[in-house]
Homo-oligomer: A and B are copies of this chain.
């Protein structure tokens, strides 16, 4: 809190005016090099640090963009964060990450604060997608917003998403091809579009070629999956709305002594890193996670650029099914003692 040195001190020390110091900082080419050097010296000697509040106040807006994620704890989102950071960095913009934790109240508070801070723009996966008045207000008042992983028919904003219907279909077709006739879909709540779409996708793919049942979960976490595993019954394959859920199901089934994939196949969704790293590597519908973050950021920066007129765009990525052991032909194991 001792930071008491402003541009004014620097100016005095260098024997120049305030305006000159500002010029050294912002348009150094306008300042004679000797003067510039004197100012620069003064700056380091005094340990001067620019005051961003004052800058922003003058500028009318900050130089950051925000990314509001549903759950920092979900590796899917942390990968999105990485993508967004990478893209932002290329433009010299900083990303501040906010975690709503699937709590509408927290989301609201974050948005309040972000608006007070006059962030340049917001990337967000909203907690609920029903007419979200807070978010709507933000947009209406002029803050660029890009929806992440939420297809939006609305034309009032850009969005980046993955075709979840197709994803579900891919999983369904794969399982049917593998000869499964009794499949269970695990996920919830159904209020989440992703869950609905992925389910719809598999329904469409299966089309009478297999029986499809549903085990509904309260959220998309490992714990929920573990709990759901107890209810899985009379199925030879499970399609989970999420890799976290899939990992939970895998664990739950294993604990029941049910072998994966010999007894039951599992297909997850997202293809988070831990899917491949599971001891029974998980088949999963891959979403281009980093790409999602990158593109969303690019769209946002574009909108910020186009200040006035801007054509909102909706980018939809195609998911890709990654088949691994959990749903592939059981591979031959050659157990052997470690060491040669």
Contact = CB atoms under 8 A, between A and B. Distances in A.
Contact of A278 (B236, B251, B259): B251
B49 A338 contact: no
A192 interface: no
A235 B339 contact: yes
A333 B52 contact: no
Contacts of A53: 53-54, 56-57, 62, 117-118
Contacts of A56: 53
A3 B54 contact: no
A131 B120 CA distance: 35
A50 B273 CA distance: 42
A115 interface: yes
A222 B277 contact: yes
Given A113-B94, A141-B3, A78 B73 contact: yes
Interface stretch (A7-15, A79-87, A150-158): A79-87
A326 to B, nearest CB: 9
Among A1, A118, A257: residue with most chain B CB under 10 A? A1
Interface in A93-134: 94, 96-99, 101, 106, 109-110, 113, 115-118
A90 to B, nearest CB: 13
A208 to B, nearest CB: 21
Contact of A78 (B78, B264, B274): B78
Contact of A338 (B79, B116, B235): B235
Contacts of A97: 72, 96-99
A205 B259 CA distance: 37
Contacts of A101: 82, 85
Which A-B residue pairs are the 10 nearest by beta carbons? A234-B339, A2-B142, A53-B56, A279-B279, A52-B116, A53-B57, A97-B97, A257-B334, A247-B277, A52-B117
5 contacts: A53-B57, A222-B273, A257-B333, A263-B335, A279-B279
